[in-house]
Amino acid sequence: MVENSANLSKFVFRITIDSQLYKDQQFFISIEISPGYPVDSPRVQFILYEDVEVVEDVENAKNPQEVIVVDDEPPRSTVIPLHPHIYSNGHICLNLLGEDWTPACSLESILLSIQSMLSTNEKEERPPDDVDYVKRAPLNPKQTKFVYHDDDV
């Protein structure tokens, strides 16, 4: 896990999936909690590892305001996972992150939902509108009204 040492509102979680499709890969999920949390959903998206400053000694970090890694194991993968509900820019089309969000949801429930979504996937593909979406997508995935192409993935 990665955390912002200043206010604990930004986290990066490293996940691995026990499936043939994602074997020996690690993925990184950025979660930013807004001041309106838990009523307001957090900003959640996959990121590339290069987006994260790697620091072994937190006290001597060059910029402690930045996101820092709290462990020093190097990644085995620096890609956004291929999945029919994950865009190549890291945005995740998951109703829990949008219209189905409730204050009863937690960071753990978000991570478990994403992990479950990945572990049951058998399709090595992007959403059908990936190229068009990425061209026009806002930086913040919460500003997107996703079109759900299917519910069977």
Q: Tell me, yes or no, if the pTM score tops 0.85.
A: no
**pLDDT at residue 4 in the model:** 45
Question: How would residue 8 be classed by pLDDT, with cut points 50, 70 and 90?
Answer: confident
| Domains, the chain, with CATH or none | 2-143 (3.10.110.10)
Task: Answer whether 89's CB lies under 8 Å from 7's CB.
Answer: no
pLDDT digits (tens, 9 = 90+) for 73-120: 545 456 899 999 999 999 999 989 988 999 999 999 999 999 999 999
What's the pLDDT band for 141 if we cut at 50, 70, 90? very high
Which are the catalytic amino acids? 93
Q: How confident is the model at residue 44, as a pLDDT?
A: 97
pLDDT of residue 133: 92
- For residue 145, what pLDDT is reported? 79
Residue 61 confidence class, pLDDT cut points 50, 70, 90 = low
pLDDT value at 128 more than 60: yes
